[in-house]
Amino acid sequence: MLDSLQSDLKASMLAKDSARTLVLRSALTAYRNEAVAKGLGPQGVLSDAEALTVLKRLIKSREDSVEQFTKAGRSDKAEQEAAEIEILKTYLPAMLEGEALESAVRAAIAETGAQTKKDTGKVMKTLQVTHGGNYDGKTANQIVQSILS
CATH number (domain holding residue 129): 1.10.10.410
Flag whether the pTM goes above 0.75.
no
Report the alpha-carbon distance of residue 124 to residue 107 in Å, rounded: 11
**Angle between helical axes of 98-112 and 120-131 (0-180°, round to 10):** 120
Kindly state whether residues 77 and 24 are assigned to the same domain.
yes
Q: What's the confidence (pLDDT) of residue 110?
A: 87
Whether residues 105 and 37 fall in one domain: no
Residues 83, 48 within the same domain: yes
Identify the pLDDT of residue 41: 82
Q: What is the pLDDT of residue 147?
A: 86
Number of residues written out for the chain = 149
- For residues 17 and 71, membership in a common domain is answered with yes
- At 14 the pLDDT is 93
Q: Which residues contact 44 (CB under 8 A, 6 or more apart)?
A: 35, 36, 38
Question: How much helix, strand and coil, in percent to the nearest 5, is found in the chain?
Answer: 75, 0, 25
pLDDT higher than threshold 80 for residue 71: yes
Residue 79 binned pLDDT confidence (cut-offs 50, 70, 90): very high
Q: What is the pLDDT of residue 48?
A: 79
Please identify, among 67, 89, 111, the residue that sits at the C-terminal boundary of a domain.
89
Distance of alpha carbon 97 from the chain centroid: 13
Count of structural domains, the chain: 2
* 90-146 pLDDT per residue, tens: 888 777 888 888 888 888 888 888 888 888 888 888 888 888 777 878 888 888 888
CA nearest to 121, candidates 112, 130, 134 = 112
Please, what is the average pLDDT of the chain?
87
The enclosing domain of 79 has a CATH number of 1.10.1510.10
Whether 83 and 64 map to the same domain: the answer is yes
Range of the domain at 106: 98-147
Amino acid 44: pLDDT = 83
